[in-house]
Amino acid sequence: MNERAPLDAELVRAAIRARVSGHAAPVVVHATTGSTNDDARALAREGAAHGTLVLAEQQTRGRGRSGNPWFSPPGENLYASLLLTPQSITPATAAFSLVVGLCVAQVVERACAGRVRAQVKWPNDVLVADRKIAGVLIEGSASARGASLVVGVGLNVGTRAFPPELGGVATSIAEELGFASDRNPLAADLAVVILEAWPAFEAAGLAPHAEELARRDALRGRRVRVDEVSGVAAGIEPDGRLLIEGEGGVTTRVVAGHVELLAPLTAGPA
Ligand code: BTN
C-alpha cells in the first residue's frame, strides 16, 4: 500500500478487469484538468464505452452541486468520473446518486478496514463522524449517440489541512486513519462497485438498497431544514424523496435541496 503513489491508468484498469468480466473500457488519467465530469461528457460525445473512467491528480474547476466549487488540490484525493450509457435517462435516474453514496460508503469502510463508519447524507454526501468525506455529482445528457450518465465522485483521501471554509465540515481518510490509502486500488474498487450497482438500479430502482439506505441514513431522526421546510428527517422514500415530519404532524416529501442540520431539541425549563 503506497499512499503517495501517483494515479496509474494501467494499474486501475487491470484491477477493474480482474473483477468485472468482459470489462474493456479505458481508464484515463489527467495530471491536471478542469473537471473530470466535463472530460467524461466530452468522451461520451465521442462515443466512449460504458465504464470509461476519468481520473485526475488535480482539478482546476472541480464542481459540486449547485455550482459550488469542489476542493481539488494536486496528488491528494480522488477525483473520478465514471461514464455509464443507459437506455434512457428519466427523472428517476437522479436517485442513483443515493446508490453511489452507498457504494462510496462501502469503499471508504473497506479502505479503513472497518475502523470508521460511513453514512449517507441525502441526497449526495458521504459522511464520517458527521463530516463530509465525499460528494457525488451525477450528470445526464443525450446526444445523437444516445444517453450518457456521468457519475462524478470526489473522495477526500490524503488531505490533512482543509481550507478555513471547510474546517470542521470536511474530513479525509488520512484524517480518520492517520494515513492515506493508495488511490489506485481505491479508484478501481469505486468503479467496480458502481458498475455492479447500475444494472440493479436500472431494473429495480432504490428497492434493493432500502435496508442499507435506512441503516446508513445520517439524517434519520435529526432536526433538519430544506429551504422553508423544517422538521425531523424520517427516512427516504422508494423514489428517493426525503421525508420530513413537520411539527404539526405534516409530512413533506422533498425532491431536491440542500439539507441544513438544526440543533437538536433540548428540554425547556420545567
Ligand atoms: C458535491 O458534494 O457537491 C458533489 C461533488 C462532486 C465532485 C466530483 S470530483 C470529480 C467530479 N468532477 C467534478 O468536477 N465534480 C465531481
Q: How far is the CA of 69 from the centre of ligand 1 (A)?
A: 8
**pLDDT at position 139:** 97
Please check the confidence at residue 125 and state whether its pLDDT lies above 60: yes
Residue with cell 425549563: 269
**pLDDT at position 103:** 98
CA–centroid distance for 68 within its chain: 15
Mean pLDDT of the chain: 94
Among candidate residues 177, 88, 85, the one with its CA nearest the CA of residue 128: 177
DSSP string covering 67-90, please? G-B----TTTSEEEEEEE--S---
Please check the confidence at residue 60 and state whether its pLDDT lies above 60: yes
Q: How far is the CA of 35 from the centre of ligand 1 (A)?
A: 8
Dihedrals φ, ψ of 111, to 5°?
-65, -30
Q: Which of 37, 55, 169 to mutate to test the pocket of ligand 1 (most atoms within 8 A of CB)?
A: 37
Q: Which amino acid is present at 16?
A: I
- pLDDT bin (cut points 50, 70, 90) of residue 269 is very low
Residues in contact with ligand 1 (CB, 6 Å cut-off): 35-37, 59, 62-65, 68, 70, 79-81, 124-125, 135-137, 152-154
Q: Which of 122, 131, 137 to mutate to test the pocket of ligand 1 (most atoms within 8 A of CB)?
A: 137
Give the residue, by CA position, lying nearest to ligand 1 atom 15: 63
Query: Reading across the β-sheet that carries 131-143, which strands appear in turn?
Result: 27-30, 53-56, 78-84, 146-155, 131-143, 125-128, 118-121
| Distance between CA atoms of residues 34 and 221, nearest Å | 39
Q: Is 87 exposed, middle or buried (0-12, 13-18, 19+ CB in 10 A)?
A: exposed
Q: Percent of the chain, pLDDT > 70?
A: 96
- Express each pLDDT in 22-51 by its tens digit: 999 999 999 999 999 999 999 999 999 999
Please check the confidence at residue 1 and state whether its pLDDT lies above 70: no
Q: How far is the CA of 113 from the centre of ligand 1 (A)?
A: 25
Interacting residues of 249 by C-beta distance below 8 A, sequence separation 6+: none
Segment holding 151, helix H or strand E: strand 146-155
Residue with cell 430502482: 205
Q: How far is the CA of 267 from the centre of ligand 1 (A)?
A: 39
This prediction's pTM: 0.95
Omega before 264 cis (within 30°)?
no
Arithmetic mean of pLDDT, 238-260: 93
Is residue 209 helix, strand or coil? helix
Arithmetic mean of pLDDT, 209-236: 96
Arithmetic mean of pLDDT, 253-270: 75
